[in-house]
Amino acid sequence: MDRNSRIFVAGHRGLAGSAILRRLAEAGCTDLVLRDRSQLDLTDQAAVRSFFDREKIEYVFLAAAKVGGILANERFSADFIRDNLLIQTNVIDAAWRSGVKKLLFLGSSCLYPKFAEQPVKEEALLTGAMEPSNKPYAIAKIAGITMCQAYRRQYGFNAISAMPSNLYGPGDHYEPENSHVLPGLIRRFHDARIDGQPSVTLWGTGTPRREFLYIDDLADACLHLMDSYDGEDIINVGPGEDIAIADLANLIRGTVGYEGALTHDLSKPDGHPRKLMDVSRLFATGWRPKVSLEEGVRRSYEWFLANGARTAPETPARSTQAAE
């Protein structure tokens, strides 16, 4: 990809999009086209087509999506399938119609079958039942991958798809309920330390294993694929290593400095038992991640401390009625 090309980063204010934007800037890309939701509603087909016709985009990083953890997927399942279908359909189609040279679409490791053989190869997609808790999101994103492949076959559109493992890092959402597991645990352990809580409760058994990719490593991999990969097959992107959720919780507990107990709520779902991807296809191209999980958690916590973390216990609101 020519560094002077006109590049659109869809979803540049999100976790993945903001990291891709940083990486492109570091690489010397200066003609970056950015629109937030107030400037361009990606669910509006007419607006998206007009944008592409007007801006003469050459390359697209499609990182815009509605994402969330298990609880968010359960509460807003209709929003997850509707919004993601609309966003990716509008962007992929408008990009092809306007003559975009290449588009990179981001999928997710959660699209693979729940009980896929580990580590999961790219060929496992659609070979078994998916995890029910994120089915609407997964179906939408699989449709996006299939659309990229179909547009390549029928129209010759150079669209590629990457499948990242669980992402985390600066810019993530740290709400205790609607966030993904790693930032959610950072928030909960931090608040428990500040408030002097005796314990933190972990959803489920803690035995499921997850593979975590630092967001700046994902951005580096995306640029690498845009430069060097032109195939229909999806590409797994991850470190090739996983960790049990309970061990992750203890790593975060140590990073935050929380000294209380860790308990388990067995009424909550575990989700996928394991999600480790086979990343040999990507590694064969010469790419490797640079940030270890320990270092990534440390950087993530430092970012959280600098961007809104509480530093004092919450105090109850005072009554407006005077005591007698």
Catalytic residues: 137
39-76: string of b/e by CB count within 10 Å (b at 16+)?
A: ebbbbeeebbeebbeeeebbbbbbbbbbbbbbbbbeeb
Tokens linked to 281: 């296809």
Q: Are 218 and 164 in contact (CB under 8 A)?
A: yes
Is 179 known as a binding-site position?
Answer: no
Is 107 known as a binding-site position?
Answer: yes
Name the residue with tokens 């959720």: 245
Is 166 known as a binding-site position?
Answer: yes
Beta strands in 191-316 (DSSP E): 199-203, 209-210, 212-214, 235-237, 243-244, 261-265, 274-275
Is 13 known as a binding-site position?
Answer: yes
Nearest Cα neighbor of 68 from 166, 202, 169, 152 is 166
Is 303 known as a binding-site position?
Answer: no
Is 12 known as a binding-site position?
Answer: yes
For every residue of 111-138, DSSP letters joined together read GS-TTPPSSBPGGGTTSSPPPGGGHHHH
Is 272 known as a binding-site position?
Answer: no
Is 203 known as a binding-site position?
Answer: yes
Q: Are 105 and 162 in contact (CB under 8 A)?
A: yes
- What 8-state DSSP symbol labels residue 262? E
Is 50 known as a binding-site position?
Answer: no
Is 14 known as a binding-site position?
Answer: yes
Is 3 known as a binding-site position?
Answer: no
Residue stretches of the annotated binding site for substrate: 188, 203, 210, 270
Residue stretches of the annotated binding site for NADP(+): 11-17, 106-109, 141, 164-167, 180
Residue stretches of the annotated binding site: 11-17, 106-109, 141, 164-167, 180, 188, 203, 210, 270
